[in-house]
Copies of this chain bind each other. A is one copy, B any other.
Amino acid sequence: MSTRREAVRQALTESSGFRSAQDLYADLRADGSKIGLTTVYRALQALSDSGEVDVLRTDDGEAVYRACDTESHHHHLVCRTCSTAVEIEGPTVERWAAEVGAKHGFTGVTHTVEVFGTCGTCSRRLAQQGSAQQV
């Protein structure tokens, strides 16, 4: 793997949440790297093709990436405020999706599942700020 690609993977690993190509490019340049935006896109493309990083789309269509601990099939619980993500897996949703597909005569059934919310840390901070403003 090239040095550049390794740098992108490293930058991604330093975050616990999902980051966009533009985010990572900004991070790397801020750290003094002379990497180009094109290379960041290419590295992310390669990393997601090889399954080393997960990709998902934000509500406004931007692609965001995450270097997860496991490469096996899993989903994410993502904080709407700080974007931190927790990897989740379990047979319940897997079985459910397969059954739903089969029941309707579909073959080659796959699924996309993401759970969103406000993490404990952010929940507490928001509650704090909310009550402070109510004076």
Residues of chain A whose beta carbon lies under 8 Å from any beta carbon of chain B = 57, 61-63, 77, 79-80, 86, 88, 90, 92-93, 96-97, 100-101, 104-120, 123
The reply to whether B111 and A115 form a contact with Cβ atoms under 8 Å apart is yes
The reply to whether A106 and B120 form a contact with Cβ atoms under 8 Å apart is yes
Which residues of B are found within 8 Å of A97, using beta-carbon distances?
113, 115
- Choose one: B61, B100, B117; the contact of A110 (CB below 8 Å): B117
Knowing A77-B101, A101-B117, say if A96 contacts B92 (CB, 8 Å). yes
- Choose one: B77, B106, B114; the contact of A117 (CB below 8 Å): B106
- Choose one: B77, B88, B108; the contact of A118 (CB below 8 Å): B108
Q: Give the CA-CA distance A111 to B96 in the complex, in Å.
A: 15
Q: Give the CA-CA distance A114 to B104 in the complex, in Å.
A: 14
Which residues of B are found within 8 Å of A109, using beta-carbon distances?
115-117
- Which residue of chain B has the shortest Cβ distance to A99 in the bound complex? B92
- Which residue of chain B has the shortest Cβ distance to A59 in the bound complex? B57
